[in-house]
Amino acid sequence: MLKSVSGILKQCQAHSKRQIHLIPMVVEQTGRGERAYDIYSRLLKERIICLMGNINDDLSSLVVAQLLYLQSENANKPIHLYINSPGGVVTAGLAIYDTMQYVKPPIATWCVGQACSMGSLLLTAGEQGMRYSLPNARIMIHQPSGGAQGQATDIQIQAKEIVKLKEQLTNIYVKHTKQPYERLYERMERDSYMCPEEARDMGLVDHVLAHPPAPDAGIAAPTSDEEDKSDK
């Protein structure tokens, strides 16, 4: 048994090393010589955060930390949050959501690939007029799910909690989409998949972009010399 566990640990460590090697490095020339960044750190310099994969406590902690850091760097300049997520843990997603509402910089959200479940809630929680989707992305909303176990009383407590959570999440969607509560509640009864145009009609996103916007289009695309914006 110990031998098999040791083998599993070695496989996990090898997988982690392969994952690290897959992250590209960017080398820049500075007045003091060359400086190397991993690609995500380089994007963070441009105020771009990548939320990719399942939303769990680890990913949530990273995104929250980056949001707080970028606010400390500049409380006026927009932050761009790129989302490609199937969803995940509700509490981890709500930690990101609350931080997005707490920080002062306007946050532009971008859907690349998919924004499902909690991913779609974070997508629609961006600054009004600054919520984008690429043309072949998919957006999905639904009610929260849970696997209640234990004694009958425990299951009853968990059932009440998930009903409250469903109402809470629905109200968040109502706040950001301006859609009637009843319409969203009905759409969230089952997995409701949308193309970007349908998501725009539902108020989940504001723009569907296939190419970078023209400078005079009034759309805030991420740039290294983006002008500071006033406080929200």
Cα–Cα distance between 212 and 185 in angstroms, integer?
Answer: 34
- Give the helix/strand (H/E) hosting 113: strand 107-116
- In whole angstroms, how far apart are CA 174 and each of 14, 17, 195? 45, 43, 19
CB-based contact 106:130 (threshold 8 Å): yes
Q: What single-letter DSSP state applies at residue 128?
A: T
The bridge status of strand 192-194 relative to strand 131-133 is: unpaired
Active site residues: 117, 142
Q: What torsion do the CA atoms of 196, 197, 203, 204 make, to the nearest 10 degrees?
A: 0
Decide: residue 54, CB within 10 A, 0-12 exposed, 13-18 middle, 19+ buried: middle
